Amino acid sequence: MSEVIVVTSGKGGVGKTTTTANVGTGLAAAGKKVVLIDTDIGLRNLDVVMGLENRIVYNLVDVVEGSCRVKQALIRDKRYPGLYLLPSAQTRDKTSVNESQMRKLVEQLKEQFDYVLLDCPAGIEQGFKNAIAGADRALVVTTPEVSAIRDADRIIGLLEANSFSQIDLCINRMRYDMVKRGDMMTVEDVVDILSVNLIGVIPDDENVVISTNQGEPLVGNHTQAGRAYKNICMRILGQEVPYLDLDRSLSFWTKVTGIFHKSQEGRA
C-alpha cells in the first residue's frame, strides 16, 4: 500500500527540502519505490539538494497542464534504483496549479510508487494547500526556536482541520551543547508544547551543509545527521528504533577529534 507524505513546516529555512531529500533517499535505499515532488513553484530547490539540477527537461507545471506525460518529467536518480524526482517550475508561480490537479497527479503516482513525498513551500497560502491536497500523512519539520515552533503549531492546526490522521514531528538542528547550558529548548519541551508524535531529532551537523554543497543526501552515512535521518526512515517503515544518545556520541566524537587535533599538532 502506498503512502503520500507531505513535508511541511510553515516557517521557511528550517529544513523541509533537506528532510524530503534525505527521507526520500533513505526510503529508496531501503528498497522502496519513491517519488519526490517539489511543490515549491517559483523557488525550486529540491533538485539542487538532490544534485539532479542538470537533468531537468519537464516540470510539475508541464505535467499538470498536459504539455508532457508524467513519465517524461520524472528524473531517475541513478544512485538508487526506484528513486525519482518530479521537479518544480522555476519561472511560474503557485497559482499555476490547483488542489484538484495535485490530487489527480498524486493519485496517478500512487499506483506506481510505494512512497510519494511532497516538499511543501513555506507559508500557508496556495502552495501549502496544493502540497497537502493529495497527502494523507504529514511530516512537520521544526527547529527548537520560538518562531519555528509557533509556525509549526499553526500548520498542525491546519492539518488537523484538513483531517490528517497522522502527523509526525521532526525536530531539526538540535544543539545538545546549548541544551546542556540551558539555552535551548529540549526535545521534551518542543513535543510537550506541540503535542504531536515525535518521529525524529536531527542534530545540528555541519555535514548537512557539506552534503548540500555536493548535492548528495547524507542519509545512512556515519555522520550524526545521516544516522538520525536513517532512523526516521526506519520509523516511517514501521520499525521501532531507539533514539540516538546524541549527548554521549557528541562527547565521544569530541574526544576522537580532540585526539586527532592533538596528533595533528604533534606532527606540525
For the chain, the three-class secondary structure string (H helix, E strand, C coil) is CCEEEEEECCCCCCCHHHHHHHHHHHHHHCCCCEEEEECCCCCCCHHHHHCCHHHCCCCHHHHHHCCCCHHHHCEECCCCCCEEEECCCCCCCHHHCCHHHHHHHHHHHHCCCCEEEEECCCCCCHHHHHHHHCCCEEEEEECCCHHHHHHHHHHHHHHHHCCCCEEEEEEEEECHHHHHHCCCCCHHHHHHHHCCEEEEEEECCHHHHHHHHHCCCCCCCCCHHHHHHHHHHHHHCCCCCCCCCHHHHHHHHHHHHHHHHHHHHHHC
Residue 139's CB is within 10 A of a number of other CB atoms, namely 26
Nearer to other proteins, 136 or 145 (CB): 145
Minimum distance, C-beta of residue 255 to other proteins, in the bound complex (Å): 21
Nearer to other proteins, 73 or 152 (CB): 152
Nearer to other proteins, 8 or 130 (CB): 8
Minimum distance, C-beta of residue 240 to other proteins, in the bound complex (Å): 24
CA-closest candidate to residue 204, choices 181, 177, 231, 169: 177
Nearer to other proteins, 109 or 184 (CB): 184
| 232 alpha carbon, distance to own chain's centre | 10
Q: Which residues bind other proteins (CB under 8 A)?
A: 145-146, 149-150, 153-154, 157, 160, 179, 181-186, 189, 193, 195
Minimum distance, C-beta of residue 66 to other proteins, in the bound complex (Å): 39
Minimum distance, C-beta of residue 99 to other proteins, in the bound complex (Å): 22
**Rounded-to-integer distance, Cα 91 and Cα 142, Å:** 28
Minimum distance, C-beta of residue 132 to other proteins, in the bound complex (Å): 17
Minimum distance, C-beta of residue 204 to other proteins, in the bound complex (Å): 15
Nearer to other proteins, 189 or 245 (CB): 189
Give yes or no for a contact between 35 and 46, defined as CB atoms under 8 angstroms apart.
no
Nearer to other proteins, 99 or 153 (CB): 153
Minimum distance, C-beta of residue 191 to other proteins, in the bound complex (Å): 12
Nearer to other proteins, 31 or 157 (CB): 157
